[in-house]
Amino acid sequence: MVEILTKLVIGYLIIMMIYVSVKAEKDKDKK
Amino acid sequence: MLSDILWTIVFVFFIGMGLTRPYIALSLVIWIDILKPQDLSFSFLAGKPLSLIAIAVFFFSLMMNLNKIRIPARKSSTLIIILFMGWLSITTYYAEFQYAAWFKYDFVIKTLFFSLFIPFVVETRRQIETILGILVSSVGYYTMIGGMRTFLGDSRYGSGLVQSLAGDSGIAETSTLSMVSVFTLSFIFYIYKNSYFSESIKFIKPLLIGLSFSCLLTTIGTHARTGLVGLFVLILIIIYFSKQKLKVIFGTLFVLLMVLPFLSDDYVSRMSTITSSDQESSALGRIVVWKWTLDYVSKRPFMGGGFGSYRANAGQLQEYVASDISIDLKSNSGKAFHNIFIEVLGESGYVGLSIFLLLIYVSWSMNMKIIRGKNEAIWMVMFARSINIALLIFCACGMFIGVAYSPWLYYFAGLSASLYNIKRKTEYPLPKQKTA
């Protein structure tokens, strides 16, 4: 249970970091 | 099964985003290199060649996006790493223990090679922060598991904190984990205070606070004295850099009070041996190997003995023991170096050690130029400071463990070079390219 929760948190952090980074890139390109 | 599905989602997401962005593809390589999901899995991902796939994705992304690659303005660390790779290839060719040497060479060269690319694919603040964020998150898995086990009172001296198919090696090895936990704190602090992510990702701040606490608990849970050395260095640096020293001292005391309930008797007795290196067998064993290495290298000062040359001390260490204390000298297999500088010296001679020290110095000085700069952006100064803190902790902890060729130093060097290039780019912006 602890491991699954940890993996969820880490997975969330990684996906969000990439998503935010890519989104910022796209927003910059639009401008 | 469930965790394998989760890792697969992250992996596929990385690939999807990385195919058109080399810095994300490189982050994937770093993620696989640190986290090693294939070693943490007991289902369909177990033992799969994820590293190979990640490398293939990275090179494909690199080929498809050649226009996104920049030649770094400051090439010194890149050239030093290339020089180091060349030198290590020569010393491996002449290594005393050929099989062991080529085995180690295989992953060392891979680590050095991929760290070379960091300055080439990173050219903005967002990109460098993404790589740092992925690095912290990957380490975060180990510290969260370790922290949780320590919190639940499930940590003991001599038992690994995080179970991995690779066993007690890499980041899962307790002393290494304690060092990594400590230097990751400086990166977490940066992301919390200065990064672009801290304002754009929901729940990131409480998660980072939890991650910091788990790093501290992991340092305790490993029962490694290396971690205590790292913490000591970290506290000294924080006090040194802080303008409100008294406030920081009280803050540190408060944090220490919070972790006090998790200090077992086992931990306290283990740490109390740190001041009696002349009476403690583990510390004495290391000193004995260091003395042997100096003698060993005096016979082959230029090239050392190649990777795995510590094996040559099998059965030879007894003559270096100056006390009656029983030491495990590993007389059949040889005792490892247990020190990054001695490790590099023993394996690649004084030439290799000079290149290694030069890499540390160049990375350190690039960051110091940014820290001392008068008109640098705050995020840049804080980023440079966090790398230098990590570098110092790496060197201090590295006095007791043989992690010279683990990826940390080379990632720090790559990040330092990238940061310096971003600074140069800000000072001297590139002319706009003409479009057809």
Rg, chain B, Cα only: 22
Inter-chain residue contact B207 with A18, CB threshold 8 Å? no
Please list every residue in chain B whose beta carbon sits closer than 8 Å to the beta carbon of residue A29: none
Do B265 and B271 touch, CB atoms closer than 8 A? Answer: no
For residue range B287-342, what is the model confidence (pLDDT) as tens digits?
888 999 999 999 999 999 999 999 988 887 777 777 666 666 666 778 888 899 99
- The pLDDT value given to residue B248: 84
d(CA B156, CA B266): 8
Inter-chain residue contact B31 with A3, CB threshold 8 Å? no
The stretch B90-112 carries a mean pLDDT of 93
Does residue B194 surpass a pLDDT of 60?
Answer: yes
Q: Which residue of B has its CA nearest to A13?
A: B137
Exposure class string for B96-120: b at 16+ Cβ within 10 A, else e = bbeebbeebbeebbebbebbbbbbb
Any A CB within 8 A of B163 CB: no
- The pLDDT value given to residue B275: 64
d(CA B196, CA B138): 19
Please list every residue in chain A whose beta carbon sits closer than 8 Å to the beta carbon of residue B137: 10, 13-14, 17
Please list every residue in chain A whose beta carbon sits closer than 8 Å to the beta carbon of residue B162: none
Those residues with Cβ within 8 angstroms of residue B145's Cβ, 6 or more apart along the chain or in another chain: A2, A3, A6, B161, B162
Please list every residue in chain A whose beta carbon sits closer than 8 Å to the beta carbon of residue B200: 20, 24
Question: Residue B357 in 3-state DSSP?
Answer: helix
Does residue B52 surpass a pLDDT of 60?
Answer: yes
Inter-chain residue contact B6 with A8, CB threshold 8 Å? yes
| CB-nearest partner of A18 from B7, B24, B35 | B24
Any A CB within 8 A of B201 CB: yes
Provide the pLDDT confidence category of residue B224 given band limits of 50, 70 and 90. Answer: confident
Give ipTM to 2 decimals.
0.94
Does residue B48 surpass a pLDDT of 90?
Answer: no
Best mutation target among B4, B126, B184 (most A Cβ atoms within 10 Å) is: B126
The stretch B176-199 carries a mean pLDDT of 93
- The pLDDT value given to residue B436: 43
Tokens of B75: 């090439």
- The pLDDT value given to residue B261: 78
Best mutation target among A3, A13, A22, A26 (most B Cβ atoms within 10 Å) is: A13
The stretch B201-215 carries a mean pLDDT of 92
For residue range A4-29, what is the model confidence (pLDDT) as tens digits?
888 899 999 999 999 999 998 888 87
